[in-house]
Structure 1
Amino acid sequence: MRLDRFQDNIYYHEVETPSYPLMEFNQYTLSLAGKILDVAKYEQLDVVHVHYAIPHAVSAYLAKEISRATRPFRLVTTLHGTDITLVGLEPTFLPLVKFSLEKSDVVTAVSGFLAEKTRQSFGQDLAIRVIPNFVDTTLYQRSDCSHLHKHLNRNGEIVLMHVSNFRPVKRVQDCVRLLAEVRNKVNARLVFVG
Protein backbone atom coordinates (compact mmCIF):
# COMPACT_ATOMS: atom_id res chain seq x y z
CA MET A 1 0.00 0.00 0.00
CA ARG A 2 1.34 3.43 -0.89
CA LEU A 3 0.32 6.33 1.29
CA ASP A 4 -0.64 9.34 -0.77
CA ARG A 5 -2.57 11.23 1.88
CA PHE A 6 -2.93 11.52 5.65
CA GLN A 7 -4.41 8.54 7.44
CA ASP A 8 -5.25 8.26 11.12
CA ASN A 9 -2.81 6.26 13.26
CA ILE A 10 -0.11 6.06 10.62
CA TYR A 11 3.03 8.04 11.38
CA TYR A 12 6.23 8.68 9.51
CA HIS A 13 9.45 8.78 11.53
CA GLU A 14 12.33 10.13 9.48
CA VAL A 15 15.73 8.58 10.08
CA GLU A 16 18.30 11.34 10.05
CA THR A 17 21.85 10.31 9.28
CA PRO A 18 24.29 12.86 10.62
CA SER A 19 27.51 13.46 8.73
CA TYR A 20 30.74 13.37 10.70
CA PRO A 21 34.10 14.19 9.10
CA LEU A 22 35.68 11.35 11.08
CA MET A 23 33.19 8.85 9.65
CA GLU A 24 33.42 9.01 5.88
CA PHE A 25 30.43 6.80 5.11
CA ASN A 26 26.70 7.01 5.80
CA GLN A 27 25.67 5.84 9.27
CA TYR A 28 22.13 4.75 8.30
CA THR A 29 22.21 1.40 10.11
CA LEU A 30 23.15 3.01 13.42
CA SER A 31 20.80 5.97 12.93
CA LEU A 32 17.97 3.54 12.18
CA ALA A 33 18.72 1.55 15.34
CA GLY A 34 18.51 4.77 17.35
CA LYS A 35 15.22 5.77 15.69
CA ILE A 36 13.69 2.31 16.30
CA LEU A 37 14.79 2.55 19.93
CA ASP A 38 13.23 6.02 20.34
CA VAL A 39 9.93 5.13 18.66
CA ALA A 40 9.59 1.77 20.44
CA LYS A 41 10.14 3.45 23.81
CA TYR A 42 7.92 6.49 23.15
CA GLU A 43 5.06 4.48 21.63
CA GLN A 44 5.56 1.58 24.09
CA LEU A 45 5.66 -0.91 21.23
CA ASP A 46 5.34 -4.61 21.91
CA VAL A 47 6.39 -5.61 18.38
CA VAL A 48 8.71 -4.07 15.81
CA HIS A 49 8.23 -5.41 12.28
CA VAL A 50 11.01 -4.72 9.78
CA HIS A 51 11.29 -5.51 6.10
CA TYR A 52 14.61 -6.70 4.66
CA ALA A 53 17.32 -8.38 6.69
CA ILE A 54 20.03 -5.93 5.66
CA PRO A 55 20.13 -3.39 7.16
CA HIS A 56 16.75 -3.25 8.92
CA ALA A 57 16.82 -6.50 10.93
CA VAL A 58 20.36 -5.74 12.08
CA SER A 59 19.32 -2.26 13.23
CA ALA A 60 16.18 -3.56 14.92
CA TYR A 61 18.12 -6.27 16.75
CA LEU A 62 20.53 -3.67 18.12
CA ALA A 63 17.58 -1.55 19.31
CA LYS A 64 15.91 -4.63 20.82
CA GLU A 65 19.01 -5.51 22.82
CA ILE A 66 19.42 -1.97 24.12
CA SER A 67 15.76 -1.79 25.16
CA ARG A 68 15.67 -5.27 26.74
CA ALA A 69 16.27 -4.06 30.30
CA THR A 70 13.71 -1.24 30.20
CA ARG A 71 11.03 -1.88 27.57
CA PRO A 72 11.56 -5.13 25.61
CA PHE A 73 9.82 -5.74 22.31
CA ARG A 74 9.51 -8.68 19.93
CA LEU A 75 11.10 -8.52 16.50
CA VAL A 76 9.46 -9.70 13.28
CA THR A 77 11.56 -9.71 10.11
CA THR A 78 10.02 -10.06 6.64
CA LEU A 79 12.26 -11.16 3.79
CA HIS A 80 11.58 -10.00 0.25
CA GLY A 81 14.24 -11.51 -1.97
CA THR A 82 17.42 -9.63 -2.75
CA ASP A 83 18.16 -9.22 0.95
CA ILE A 84 18.64 -13.00 0.97
CA THR A 85 19.50 -14.10 -2.56
CA LEU A 86 21.93 -11.30 -3.42
CA VAL A 87 23.02 -8.90 -0.69
CA GLY A 88 22.75 -11.45 2.11
CA LEU A 89 25.16 -13.84 0.40
CA GLU A 90 27.96 -11.29 0.24
CA PRO A 91 30.71 -12.73 2.49
CA THR A 92 30.75 -9.55 4.59
CA PHE A 93 26.99 -9.59 5.20
CA LEU A 94 26.26 -13.33 5.40
CA PRO A 95 27.05 -13.74 9.12
CA LEU A 96 25.10 -10.56 9.93
CA VAL A 97 22.02 -11.80 8.07
CA LYS A 98 22.24 -15.24 9.68
CA PHE A 99 22.60 -13.72 13.13
CA SER A 100 19.74 -11.25 12.71
CA LEU A 101 17.41 -13.98 11.41
CA GLU A 102 18.28 -16.26 14.31
CA LYS A 103 17.65 -13.42 16.76
CA SER A 104 14.31 -12.39 15.26
CA ASP A 105 11.31 -13.68 17.20
CA VAL A 106 9.45 -14.36 13.94
CA VAL A 107 10.73 -14.51 10.36
CA THR A 108 8.36 -14.31 7.40
CA ALA A 109 9.01 -14.59 3.68
CA VAL A 110 6.89 -13.49 0.73
CA SER A 111 7.12 -16.89 -1.00
CA GLY A 112 7.83 -20.55 -0.36
CA PHE A 113 10.72 -20.33 -2.82
CA LEU A 114 12.33 -17.53 -0.81
CA ALA A 115 11.80 -19.39 2.48
CA GLU A 116 13.55 -22.47 1.06
CA LYS A 117 16.41 -20.40 -0.40
CA THR A 118 16.84 -18.74 3.00
CA ARG A 119 17.03 -22.11 4.76
CA GLN A 120 19.57 -23.38 2.21
CA SER A 121 21.78 -20.34 2.71
CA PHE A 122 21.38 -19.62 6.41
CA GLY A 123 20.32 -22.85 8.10
CA GLN A 124 17.66 -25.53 7.76
CA ASP A 125 16.53 -24.94 11.35
CA LEU A 126 15.18 -21.45 10.64
CA ALA A 127 11.45 -21.27 11.27
CA ILE A 128 10.06 -19.15 8.44
CA ARG A 129 6.38 -18.40 7.98
CA VAL A 130 5.34 -17.85 4.37
CA ILE A 131 2.95 -14.94 3.84
CA PRO A 132 2.67 -14.55 0.07
CA ASN A 133 2.46 -11.17 -1.58
CA PHE A 134 -1.10 -10.68 -2.69
CA VAL A 135 -3.24 -9.01 -5.29
CA ASP A 136 -6.56 -7.39 -4.41
CA THR A 137 -8.80 -9.50 -6.65
CA THR A 138 -11.76 -7.18 -6.10
CA LEU A 139 -9.75 -4.38 -7.70
CA TYR A 140 -7.72 -6.38 -10.23
CA GLN A 141 -9.85 -8.97 -11.98
CA ARG A 142 -9.07 -11.17 -14.94
CA SER A 143 -10.46 -9.82 -18.16
CA ASP A 144 -10.34 -10.58 -21.84
CA CYS A 145 -7.03 -9.15 -23.03
CA SER A 146 -7.06 -10.61 -26.54
CA HIS A 147 -6.91 -7.09 -27.98
CA LEU A 148 -3.73 -6.42 -26.01
CA HIS A 149 -2.24 -9.74 -27.07
CA LYS A 150 -2.99 -8.93 -30.72
CA HIS A 151 -1.40 -5.50 -30.32
CA LEU A 152 1.78 -6.89 -28.73
CA ASN A 153 1.95 -9.90 -31.02
CA ARG A 154 1.41 -8.12 -34.35
CA ASN A 155 3.76 -10.27 -36.42
CA GLY A 156 3.43 -13.62 -34.69
CA GLU A 157 6.28 -12.82 -32.32
CA ILE A 158 6.89 -14.54 -29.03
CA VAL A 159 6.25 -11.95 -26.32
CA LEU A 160 8.65 -11.88 -23.37
CA MET A 161 7.50 -9.75 -20.44
CA HIS A 162 9.42 -8.35 -17.47
CA VAL A 163 7.10 -7.24 -14.65
CA SER A 164 8.86 -5.36 -11.86
CA ASN A 165 10.37 -2.02 -11.03
CA PHE A 166 13.47 -0.96 -12.89
CA ARG A 167 15.99 -0.68 -10.08
CA PRO A 168 19.45 -2.00 -11.05
CA VAL A 169 19.03 -5.02 -8.78
CA LYS A 170 16.17 -6.20 -11.02
CA ARG A 171 18.71 -6.73 -13.83
CA VAL A 172 16.75 -5.09 -16.63
CA GLN A 173 19.83 -5.07 -18.87
CA ASP A 174 19.97 -8.86 -18.57
CA CYS A 175 16.46 -8.97 -20.03
CA VAL A 176 17.62 -6.97 -23.04
CA ARG A 177 20.62 -9.29 -23.52
CA LEU A 178 18.30 -12.29 -23.22
CA LEU A 179 16.04 -10.85 -25.90
CA ALA A 180 19.03 -10.53 -28.25
CA GLU A 181 19.86 -14.21 -27.72
CA VAL A 182 16.25 -15.32 -28.18
CA ARG A 183 15.94 -13.27 -31.37
CA ASN A 184 18.86 -15.19 -32.85
CA LYS A 185 16.54 -18.21 -32.89
CA VAL A 186 12.96 -16.90 -33.09
CA ASN A 187 11.09 -13.67 -33.74
CA ALA A 188 10.45 -12.14 -30.29
CA ARG A 189 9.53 -8.89 -28.60
CA LEU A 190 10.28 -7.72 -25.04
CA VAL A 191 7.69 -5.79 -23.03
CA PHE A 192 8.52 -4.06 -19.74
CA VAL A 193 5.76 -3.52 -17.18
CA GLY A 194 6.58 -1.56 -14.05
Structure 2
Amino acid sequence: MELIVYDVAARTPVEELENRVVVVIDILRTISVMVTALHNGACGIIPVLSIEEAEERAAQFVSGFCLRGGEQGALKIPHFDLGNSPLEYSPEVVRGKTIILTTSNGTRAIRRVQVANHILIGSFLNARAAATRAYQLANEMDSDLVVLCAGMGDRFSLDDYFCAGLICRLIEALDCEHNRLDWLTVRSRRGLYMKTFVMTR
Protein backbone atom coordinates (compact mmCIF):
# COMPACT_ATOMS: atom_id res chain seq x y z
CA MET A 1 0.00 0.00 0.00
CA GLU A 2 1.24 3.49 -0.82
CA LEU A 3 0.19 6.67 0.95
CA ILE A 4 0.66 9.60 -1.42
CA VAL A 5 0.07 13.33 -0.95
CA TYR A 6 -0.72 15.61 -3.89
CA ASP A 7 -0.46 19.29 -3.07
CA VAL A 8 -2.76 20.82 -5.74
CA ALA A 9 -5.85 19.02 -7.05
CA ALA A 10 -5.96 20.92 -10.35
CA ARG A 11 -2.42 19.76 -11.21
CA THR A 12 -2.97 16.14 -10.22
CA PRO A 13 -3.48 13.76 -13.16
CA VAL A 14 -6.87 12.06 -12.86
CA GLU A 15 -5.32 8.68 -13.64
CA GLU A 16 -3.29 8.99 -10.42
CA LEU A 17 -6.57 8.84 -8.49
CA GLU A 18 -8.15 5.85 -10.21
CA ASN A 19 -8.94 2.82 -8.06
CA ARG A 20 -7.56 4.48 -4.94
CA VAL A 21 -9.00 5.68 -1.65
CA VAL A 22 -8.84 9.50 -1.71
CA VAL A 23 -9.13 11.98 1.16
CA VAL A 24 -9.90 15.48 -0.16
CA ILE A 25 -8.78 18.50 1.89
CA ASP A 26 -9.86 22.12 1.50
CA ILE A 27 -9.49 23.83 4.86
CA LEU A 28 -10.57 27.32 3.74
CA ARG A 29 -13.28 26.45 3.65
CA THR A 30 -15.22 23.82 1.72
CA ILE A 31 -14.44 20.74 3.78
CA SER A 32 -14.72 22.60 7.07
CA VAL A 33 -18.20 23.72 5.99
CA MET A 34 -19.18 20.19 4.94
CA VAL A 35 -18.00 18.58 8.17
CA THR A 36 -19.76 21.23 10.25
CA ALA A 37 -23.02 20.93 8.31
CA LEU A 38 -23.09 17.14 8.59
CA HIS A 39 -22.23 17.29 12.29
CA ASN A 40 -25.09 19.74 12.79
CA GLY A 41 -27.69 17.50 11.20
CA ALA A 42 -27.68 18.15 7.45
CA CYS A 43 -29.07 15.17 5.51
CA GLY A 44 -26.37 15.36 2.88
CA ILE A 45 -24.24 17.62 0.72
CA ILE A 46 -24.18 17.73 -3.07
CA PRO A 47 -20.95 19.30 -4.43
CA VAL A 48 -21.47 21.05 -7.78
CA LEU A 49 -19.20 22.95 -10.14
CA SER A 50 -21.17 26.10 -10.89
CA ILE A 51 -23.94 28.42 -9.79
CA GLU A 52 -26.04 27.19 -12.70
CA GLU A 53 -25.64 23.56 -11.68
CA ALA A 54 -26.55 24.46 -8.10
CA GLU A 55 -29.75 26.14 -9.27
CA GLU A 56 -30.65 23.14 -11.44
CA ARG A 57 -30.15 20.70 -8.57
CA ALA A 58 -32.07 22.91 -6.14
CA ALA A 59 -35.03 22.98 -8.51
CA GLN A 60 -35.34 19.20 -8.11
CA PHE A 61 -36.15 19.52 -4.41
CA VAL A 62 -39.43 20.33 -2.72
CA SER A 63 -39.30 23.89 -1.41
CA GLY A 64 -37.71 24.12 2.02
CA PHE A 65 -35.83 20.81 1.86
CA CYS A 66 -32.54 22.09 0.46
CA LEU A 67 -30.23 25.05 0.90
CA ARG A 68 -27.78 26.53 -1.60
CA GLY A 69 -24.41 27.44 -0.18
CA GLY A 70 -20.88 28.37 -1.14
CA GLU A 71 -18.77 31.10 -2.68
CA GLN A 72 -17.17 32.20 -5.91
CA GLY A 73 -13.97 34.21 -5.72
CA ALA A 74 -14.24 34.18 -1.89
CA LEU A 75 -17.53 36.11 -2.07
CA LYS A 76 -20.98 34.89 -1.06
CA ILE A 77 -23.12 34.14 -4.09
CA PRO A 78 -26.08 36.54 -4.48
CA HIS A 79 -29.45 34.93 -3.73
CA PHE A 80 -27.84 31.84 -2.19
CA ASP A 81 -28.99 30.84 1.29
CA LEU A 82 -25.53 30.45 2.81
CA GLY A 83 -21.93 31.48 2.24
CA ASN A 84 -18.76 29.55 3.02
CA SER A 85 -18.37 30.18 6.74
CA PRO A 86 -18.90 27.13 8.96
CA LEU A 87 -20.58 29.44 11.48
CA GLU A 88 -23.52 29.86 9.11
CA TYR A 89 -24.23 26.12 9.09
CA SER A 90 -25.74 25.91 12.56
CA PRO A 91 -28.10 23.11 13.67
CA GLU A 92 -31.06 25.48 13.51
CA VAL A 93 -30.30 26.26 9.88
CA VAL A 94 -29.19 22.94 8.37
CA ARG A 95 -30.87 20.18 10.37
CA GLY A 96 -32.86 17.94 8.04
CA LYS A 97 -31.77 19.82 4.92
CA THR A 98 -29.68 18.85 1.90
CA ILE A 99 -26.95 21.37 1.10
CA ILE A 100 -26.09 22.07 -2.53
CA LEU A 101 -22.59 23.50 -2.38
CA THR A 102 -20.40 25.19 -4.96
CA THR A 103 -17.00 26.72 -4.22
CA SER A 104 -13.95 27.92 -6.10
CA ASN A 105 -11.69 25.00 -5.16
CA GLY A 106 -13.09 22.37 -2.82
CA THR A 107 -16.12 21.18 -4.75
CA ARG A 108 -14.04 21.09 -7.92
CA ALA A 109 -11.49 18.88 -6.18
CA ILE A 110 -14.23 16.51 -5.01
CA ARG A 111 -15.72 16.24 -8.47
CA ARG A 112 -12.25 15.65 -9.93
CA VAL A 113 -11.78 12.48 -7.88
CA GLN A 114 -14.93 10.67 -9.02
CA VAL A 115 -12.67 7.97 -10.52
CA ALA A 116 -11.55 6.96 -7.02
CA ASN A 117 -12.77 3.80 -5.31
CA HIS A 118 -13.82 5.78 -2.25
CA ILE A 119 -13.88 9.52 -1.56
CA LEU A 120 -13.59 10.93 1.95
CA ILE A 121 -13.38 14.50 3.17
CA GLY A 122 -10.73 15.59 5.65
CA SER A 123 -10.18 18.68 7.79
CA PHE A 124 -8.78 19.58 11.19
CA LEU A 125 -12.32 19.01 12.52
CA ASN A 126 -12.47 15.34 11.54
CA ALA A 127 -8.83 14.42 10.87
CA ARG A 128 -8.74 11.35 13.11
CA ALA A 129 -12.02 9.95 11.78
CA ALA A 130 -10.95 10.56 8.17
CA ALA A 131 -7.55 8.94 8.71
CA THR A 132 -9.03 5.92 10.46
CA ARG A 133 -11.71 5.27 7.84
CA ALA A 134 -9.34 5.85 4.92
CA TYR A 135 -6.82 3.41 6.36
CA GLN A 136 -9.55 0.81 6.94
CA LEU A 137 -10.87 1.12 3.39
CA ALA A 138 -7.43 0.98 1.81
CA ASN A 139 -6.63 -2.19 3.75
CA GLU A 140 -9.96 -3.83 2.95
CA MET A 141 -9.61 -3.09 -0.77
CA ASP A 142 -5.84 -3.61 -0.99
CA SER A 143 -5.73 -0.11 -2.46
CA ASP A 144 -3.32 2.81 -2.41
CA LEU A 145 -4.34 5.83 -0.34
CA VAL A 146 -4.18 9.41 -1.63
CA VAL A 147 -4.42 12.61 0.41
CA LEU A 148 -5.39 15.34 -2.05
CA CYS A 149 -5.05 19.05 -1.22
CA ALA A 150 -7.49 21.26 -3.12
CA GLY A 151 -5.10 24.20 -3.26
CA MET A 152 -6.11 27.61 -4.63
CA GLY A 153 -6.70 27.28 -8.34
CA ASP A 154 -3.44 25.77 -9.55
CA ARG A 155 -1.49 27.11 -6.56
CA PHE A 156 -0.26 25.51 -3.35
CA SER A 157 -2.18 26.15 -0.10
CA LEU A 158 -0.25 25.91 3.15
CA ASP A 159 -3.31 25.26 5.34
CA ASP A 160 -4.32 22.26 3.22
CA TYR A 161 -0.78 20.93 3.37
CA PHE A 162 -0.57 21.17 7.15
CA CYS A 163 -3.83 19.23 7.45
CA ALA A 164 -2.50 16.64 5.00
CA GLY A 165 0.54 16.24 7.23
CA LEU A 166 -1.67 15.68 10.27
CA ILE A 167 -3.77 13.05 8.49
CA CYS A 168 -0.62 11.30 7.25
CA ARG A 169 0.78 11.23 10.78
CA LEU A 170 -2.46 9.69 12.05
CA ILE A 171 -2.40 7.06 9.30
CA GLU A 172 1.26 6.35 10.05
CA ALA A 173 0.37 5.80 13.71
CA LEU A 174 -2.41 3.39 12.76
CA ASP A 175 -0.06 1.44 10.53
CA CYS A 176 2.70 1.25 13.12
CA GLU A 177 0.26 -0.49 15.46
CA HIS A 178 0.03 -3.27 12.86
CA ASN A 179 3.78 -3.30 12.04
CA ARG A 180 3.18 -2.99 8.30
CA LEU A 181 5.33 0.07 7.70
CA ASP A 182 8.33 -1.07 5.69
CA TRP A 183 10.08 2.14 4.62
CA LEU A 184 9.39 5.71 3.73
CA THR A 185 10.95 8.43 1.63
CA VAL A 186 10.51 12.16 1.74
CA ARG A 187 9.12 13.41 -1.56
CA SER A 188 8.42 17.06 -0.86
CA ARG A 189 9.87 19.74 -3.09
CA ARG A 190 8.88 22.28 -0.45
CA GLY A 191 10.54 20.67 2.54
CA LEU A 192 7.21 20.14 4.29
CA TYR A 193 5.59 16.90 5.34
CA MET A 194 5.00 14.77 2.26
CA LYS A 195 5.90 11.12 2.31
CA THR A 196 5.25 7.92 0.47
CA PHE A 197 4.72 4.99 2.77
CA VAL A 198 5.19 1.48 1.45
CA MET A 199 3.33 -0.90 3.74
CA THR A 200 4.08 -4.60 3.66
CA ARG A 201 1.44 -7.23 4.32
Structure 1 and Structure 2 fold alike (TM over 0.5): no
Q: Which bracket does the TM-score occupy, shorter chain normalised?
A: under 0.3
Structure with the bigger percentage of helix: 1
- Which structure exhibits the higher relative contact order, with contacts defined as CA atoms closer than 8 Å and separated by 6 or more residues? 2
Q: TM-score, normalised by structure 1?
A: 0.23
Q: TM-score, normalised by structure 2?
A: 0.23
